[in-house]
Chains A and B, each alone.
Chain A
């Protein structure tokens, strides 16, 4: 069964350092999402791609976060500089991008900023 792949699974970084997460969506899925999930809360959309284009990044803190999906396949989310409040689970998800379809989530990257 195809799955969304994310790496690393866990990341500990010091504040003010740069950190990057990688996501490989299910093959053929045009839509890719990055979510941030703080413990005890629901996923919060950071950025949504349709192929290589950003269609929603209204909740992305653009002064420190950036995301790219250069070839419309895999994607990277970067934080620079990391802050203590960035500690959370970062979930990547993908969907076919058409019709009424669910989002398939990856295992996530748990980030701890110390």
Chain B
């Protein structure tokens, strides 16, 4: 079946460094790629998303890139802060939210 692979499963960085999380999807019909942040004991919340007609999107310290040909997309967090520590999930879906598949998650630790 269709799936989304996410790497790494755990990432530890020093405060101020950059963090990169990578995902690969298999469904060629996917055209919407959201990223969610889930803090301990809380619900997943969207932090950034990208559509298939865009190669890169940036929002302050967070950016996402998409390579449709390779079916890869990545999350980049610059100038990391301790409050960035959480689990990050990538997902792929089609417009309208169909066939939404989540990656297994990356636990990010930002050390002060």
Interface residues of A (CB under 8 A from B): 31, 33, 35, 40-45, 48, 55-56, 91, 95, 97-103, 105-108
Contact = CB atoms under 8 A, between A and B. Distances in A.
Contact of B102 (A40, A44, A100, A106): A44
The secondary structure that dominates the B interface is: strand
Given A31-B96, A43-B89, A103-B34, 14 more contacts: A42-B105, A44-B102, A45-B101, A48-B97, A56-B98, A91-B44, A98-B96, A100-B49, A102-B34, A102-B46, A103-B46, A103-B97, A105-B45, A107-B43
The secondary structure that dominates the A interface is: loop
A95 B103 contact: no
Q: Which 4 A-B pairs have the closest CB atoms?
A: A42-B102, A102-B46, A105-B43, A100-B32
Interface of B: 6, 31-32, 34, 42-46, 49, 51, 89, 95-105
A106 B104 contact: no
B105 A97 contact: no
A9 B34 CA distance: 26
Contact of B51 (A95, A100, A103): A100
B104 A42 contact: yes
Nearest to B33: A100
Contact of A40 (B45, B49, B101, B105): B105
B23 to A, nearest CB: 11
Contacts of B32: 100
B97 A95 contact: yes
12 contacts: A31-B96, A35-B102, A42-B6, A42-B102, A44-B102, A56-B98, A56-B99, A91-B43, A95-B97, A98-B96, A100-B31, A107-B43
Contact of A103 (B95, B100, B103, B104): B100
B102 A43 contact: yes
A37 to B, nearest CB: 9
Nearest to B42: A107
